[in-house]
Chains A and B, each alone.
Chain A
Amino acid sequence: MSEDRELDGVLDVLSDEYARSILAEASTEPMSAKTLSDRCDASLPTVYRRIERLKEHDLVEERTRVKPDGGHHKVYTATLASVSIELDDGEYETSVERTDRTASLDADDAADRLTYMWENL
C-alpha cells in the first residue's frame, strides 16, 4: 500500500496549479524561489509553501548556489520524470519516476562532464 500512498501524495501536490507551474519551470534549469515567483506569477510565500510540499514528496531538489559576491541562495530543480497510472484487469499499476540529476551525471562521459562544467560556470 505504501506505493499507493506515495501516489496519493504526489497527485495531491500536482492537483495544485502553482505547484505544477513551479515544477515545470524548475525542470528546465535550477531556479531560485525569486525567479520561480516571477515566472509563475505567484507570491514568494506561495512559492515557498509549494516548494515545501514538493520537497516532501521528493519532486524537487534543493541546492545552495554560491554567488560571485560571496553570498549564497537556494536553487530548486524538478526531479519528477513521470507519473503513470494504468488500469488493467481490475488493478491499478502506478509508478512515479524521478530523475536524479547529480547521480545521473557520469564522470566518465564527456557529455555529462561538459554539462556539469558548463552549467556551473
Chain B
Amino acid sequence: MTIATTPIEWAILAVSAASTAVGLYVAYQAYRGYRRHRSRPMQYLSLGLIILLGVTFVSAFVGSLLLRGGVVPGDYRPGFTLLVRLLQLLGVAFIAYSLSLRG
C-alpha cells in the first residue's frame, strides 16, 4: 500500500501536512492563551483550529489510506468525504462561537 506515487501526489501530501503543522501551531498558541488567561474565546478558538486542521487532516489521511489499500470499499468514498466536510463545519462553528463569546 503506497501513500503517494506520482510527484504531484507527494506534493499534495507535503502541502497538506505543512498547512496542518502551521495551523496546529496557531491552535497551540490559542491554547496557551486560554490556559494563561482562562479565556473562553481562546479555548473555543484552539478547539476549532484543532478540529478544522488536525482532526480533518488525520481522518482524511487515514481514510485515503484505507480506501487506497482496499481495506474499505470504494463505495464509502462519498460518505467519507461528507464526514471530513462535517468535521470542517464543526471546526469553523467552534471558531464562530468563540467570536460570539462577548460580554
Instruction: Quote the shortest CB–CB distance from B34 to chain A (angstroms).
Output: 8
The total of chain A residues at the interface (CB under 8 A) is: 21
Which residues from A are CB-within-8-Å of B31? Answer: 111
A29-B102, A32-B103, A65-B103 are known contacts. Are A118 and B38 too (CB-CB below 8 A)? no
B47 within 8 A of A: no
Instruction: Judge whether B11 is part of the interface by a CB distance below 8 angstroms.
Output: no
Mask: chain B, 23-65; 1 = CB below 8 Å from A; 0 = not = 0001001111110111111100100000000000000000000
A-B interface pairs (CB < 8 A), number: 52
- Which single member of B33, B99, B101, B102 contacts A114 (CB below 8 Å)? B33
Contacts of B34 in A (CB 8 A): 115
Residues in B whose Cβ lies below 8 Å from that of A76: 103
B103–A119 contact, CB under 8 A? no
Interface presence of A121 (CB below 8 A): yes
Q: How many interface residues does B have (CB within 8 Å)?
A: 20
A101 within 8 A of B: yes
Distance between Cα atoms of A114 and B40 in the complex (Å): 13
Does chain B have a CB within 8 A of A21?
no
Interface flag for A37 (CB, 8 Å): no
Q: Are B37 and A118 in contact (CB under 8 A)?
A: no
* Closest 7 pairs between A and B when the two form their complex, measured CB to CB: A115-B33, A111-B32, A31-B103, A111-B33, A111-B29, A30-B103, A75-B103
Cross-chain pairs A/B with CB under 8 angstroms, 12 sampled = A29-B41, A29-B102, A104-B37, A111-B29, A115-B30, A115-B37, A115-B42, A118-B41, A118-B45, A118-B98, A119-B39, A119-B42
Q: Interface of A with B (CB < 8 Å)?
A: 27-32, 35, 65, 75-76, 101, 104-105, 110-112, 114-115, 118-119, 121
Interface, chain B (partner A; CB < 8 A)? 26, 29-34, 36-42, 45, 98-99, 101-103
